[in-house]
Amino acid sequence: MMSDSVYQRCIDPACGQTYGVEEVRTACGTCGNLLDVAYDWAKLPLPKKLADFEHKWSRRHEPLEYSGVWRFRELLPFAPDDRIVTIGEGQTLLQHARDVAKYVGLTGGELHLQYEGMNPSGSFKDNGMSAAFTHAHTIGAKRAACASTGNTSASLALYCAVTKHMKAVIFIGSGKISYGKLSQALDYGALTVQIAGDFDDAMARVQEISRELGIYLVNSVNPFRLEGQKTIMYRVLEALRWEVPDWIVVPGGNLGNSSAFGKAFIELKELGLVDRLPRLAVINASGANTLYELYERRGVRWDDGKPQPAVCGYYEQLDQQSKRASTIASAIEINRPVNLNKCLRALDAMQGVVREVTDQEIMDAKAQVGAGGLGCEPASAASVAGAKQLLAEGIIGRDERVVCILTGHQLKDPTATVAYHTTDQDKFNEVLGSRGVRRASFANRAVAVNNNLNEIIQAIQLYS
């Protein structure tokens, strides 16, 4: 019954080619476009209103109701309950962040920070991984692979280590992965292949290799990943007592999250479970700003998923200039976002805007998040830096309700954080100066004192 009402479908409505839910594909066989997981909602049981999900709160002892992904499984009903893989993902927090609101200039409104770093592997990727894993488990896959700037590999490695359903093979670019993330993949026992190249190279290779060796691919070209990431929006709504905020602001790398958020809201609207859509802001790092270039400068828009000459032209230009992505926010250091077309659809549906922020703005915003909240990694802070820019431009209104997605945990990239707060100018220059960061406006510097009781007491009284 389930498989009658669930299938995969090309995102181009004119193509509309469909595939069975059990097929493993990363692209449409007819036109090469991305695939969606699609549902015949009329044949599926659905809640009458979003608040009906609250009934599940009393059953938190059951793993599927505890999971912040699967307690919403009526909205991603692609697998039978007994095949669902969960390790307790999605226990995340929406924090009403008053200090950070002041920093971004939201004087009359509300800023909320959605802490996806609280997931088991420390990033939002676990939402998607539990869904991709569920699909892989349903079809009996034995090995799974990903290319990663770090968090996808940490997540894949963790799900493999905990469930033992599959073995993990991860591809990382050389020298591009932060220690927090690399240490996770190694600790969890994943086969870690470091290729000479960057993320865009690793991404291209892993697709070839998965095809060649029949390894299940868990990057966000996998449409099931995005089904899991839709639930980030459900949890935001849940925390706002099912009220739709004015803005969702999210960093953009491979554009899986922004695409998933768009799909979540398009479906909720179609199902009559929300009456309006929030606006979407996707924030690039200026050293990895493909979406910004295409959407804001070259006017590229969603065209029913059709390949667009302006996009090919831009990529050719990148090749000619041998231009590589470069930003301290390594999780979004990506020049060829695989979900570009789906993201354009999300921007279209949610009256989207795209902005780019410098590494200076990212690091300052990150320090503000750390000082006024639970902290995050550099890529996540792009959302806060982007919100600040949009407020200054008057695009986000001062009295609006804004949700910034903090995609990864503060401890993912200690090198960047310590370099920002350090008194060691060489360290600062090596890690941040080389990225164009000139000053640490909100540095909290360690105080060096001699090992002497009086001097220590003096220092404490001077600085506190």
- State how far the Cα of 257 lies from the Cα of 261, in Å rounded to an integer: 6
Q: Minimum Å distance from CB 200 to ligand PLP?
A: 12
Q: Where are the beta strands (DSSP E) in 321-400?
A: 353-357
Name the DSSP letter for residue 148: E
**256 binding ligand PLP? (CB under 6 A):** yes
64 SS3 class? helix
Q: In the numeric block, which tokens belong to residue 176? A: 């591009």
410 binds ligand PLP (CB under 6 A): no
Decide if residue 251 touches ligand PLP (CB under 6 A).
Answer: yes
Q: Nearest approach, Cβ of 253 to ligand PLP (angstroms)?
A: 3
Q: Return the closest-CA partner of residue 289 out of 242, 253, 241.
A: 253
Nearer to ligand PLP, 35 or 50 (CB): 35
Q: Does 198 bind ligand PLP (CB under 6 A)?
A: no
For 204, counting Cβ atoms within 10 Å of its Cβ (0-12 exposed, 13-18 middle, 19+ buried), the class is: middle
Residues 208-227 that bind ligand PLP (CB under 6 A): 220
Give yes or no for residue 386 binding ligand PLP (CB under 6 A): no
The CA distance from 284 to 356, in Å, is 5
User: Which part of the chain contacts ligand PLP (CB under 6 A), choosing from 50-58, 73-81, 372-380, 442-450?
Assistant: 372-380
Give the H or E element holding residue 314. helix 309-320
Beta bridge partners of 288: 285
Residue 264 or 273: the one with the smaller Cβ distance to ligand PLP is 264
255 forms part of the interface with ligand PLP (CB under 6 A):
yes
Helix ranges restricted to H, 115-255: 125-139, 151-163, 179-187, 199-213, 223-239
- Residue 126 touches ligand PLP, criterion: CB under 6 A: no
Instruction: Choose among 194, 270, 382: nearest CA to 36.
Output: 270
Residue 380 within binding range of ligand PLP, rule CB under 6 A: yes
How near is the Cβ of 337 to ligand PLP at its closest, in Å? Answer: 7
User: Which of 8, 33, 67, 123 is the binder for ligand PLP (CB under 6 A)?
Assistant: 123
Q: Which stretch binds ligand PLP (CB under 6 A): 236-244, 269-277, 311-319, 375-383?
A: 375-383
Angle in degrees, 0-180, between the axes of helices 256-270 and 340-349, rounded to the nearest 10: 40
- Considering the rule CB under 6 A, would residue 331 count as an interface residue with ligand PLP? yes
Q: Least CB distance from residue 173 to ligand PLP, whole Å?
A: 14
As measured in angstroms, the least distance from the Cβ of 255 to ligand PLP is 5
* Beta carbon of residue 257, minimum distance to ligand PLP (angstroms, whole number): 4
Task: Provide the total of helices (H) and of strands (E) in the chain, helices listed first.
Answer: 17, 13
Binding segment for ligand PLP (CB under 6 A), chosen from 24-32, 86-94, 250-258, 414-422, is 250-258
